[in-house]
């Protein structure tokens, strides 16, 4: 099964490469990929490392770290919509209030993380599993 899935994946990859070169957009794709690598290596990775070092210093709990990872993922997914320039010509393209919904999702993540943190803390105080960071 693994060999079959690998063969299908390799065939699809080859088809994608064929489409890339047939369409003549390889230069645009190469520029986009270089920009993605530069953005990741120049901004995202150092920022994640800095936040990780900061959280290690303040001894943040696993729950806080997990909530920050989820919040960062939500922000990364929502970034194109949040940075969109103005109102689109076609109102059906982006029909919802995306900044408000993104904010509500972040609030929900924070509330759930706080509830989980407090629950673990209370369970540790009652003699259950000790609360460990």
Is 12 domain-assigned? no
- Cβ-proximal residues to 100 (8 Å cutoff; 6+ apart), any chain: none
The pLDDT value recorded for residue 60 is: 66
Host domain of residue 103:
61-133
Is 104 domain-assigned? yes
The pLDDT value recorded for residue 129 is: 57
Is 105 domain-assigned? yes
Is 88 domain-assigned? yes
The pLDDT value recorded for residue 7 is: 97
- Cβ-proximal residues to 68 (8 Å cutoff; 6+ apart), any chain: 51, 55
- Cβ-proximal residues to 67 (8 Å cutoff; 6+ apart), any chain: 109, 110, 112, 113
The pLDDT value recorded for residue 132 is: 53
Is 113 domain-assigned? yes
Contact yes or no for 68/52 (Cβ under 8 A): no
Is 14 domain-assigned? no
The pLDDT value recorded for residue 2 is: 95
Is 71 domain-assigned? yes
Phi, psi of 84 (to 5 degrees): -65, 145
The pLDDT value recorded for residue 13 is: 93
Is 89 domain-assigned? yes
Q: How far apart are CA 99 and CA 105, in angstroms?
A: 10
Report the number of distinct structural domains present in the chain: 1
The pLDDT value recorded for residue 14 is: 92
Contact yes or no for 78/106 (Cβ under 8 A): no
Q: How far apart are CA 107 and CA 58, in angstroms?
A: 22
Split the chain (133 residues) into runs of 10 and give each run's mean pLDDT.
96 88 78 88 88 77 84 87 75 80 95 90 73 53
């Amino acid at each position: 099964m693994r060999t079959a899935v690998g063969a299908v994946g390799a065939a699809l990859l080859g088809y994608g490469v064929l489409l890339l070169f047939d369409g003549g957009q390889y230069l645009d794709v190469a520029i986009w990929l270089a920009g993605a690598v530069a953005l990741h290596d120049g901004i995202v990775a150092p920022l994640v490392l800095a936040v990780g070092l900061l959280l290690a210093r303040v001894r943040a709990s696993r729950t806080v770290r997990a909530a920050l990872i989820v919040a960062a993922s939500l922000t990364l997914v929502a970034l194109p919509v949040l940075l969109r320039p103005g109102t689109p010509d076609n109102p059906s393209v982006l029909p919802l209030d995306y900044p408000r919904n993104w904010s509500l999702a972040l609030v929900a993540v924070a509330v759930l993380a706080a509830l989980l943190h407090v629950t673990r803390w209370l369970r540790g105080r009652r003699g259950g599993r000790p609360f460990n960071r």
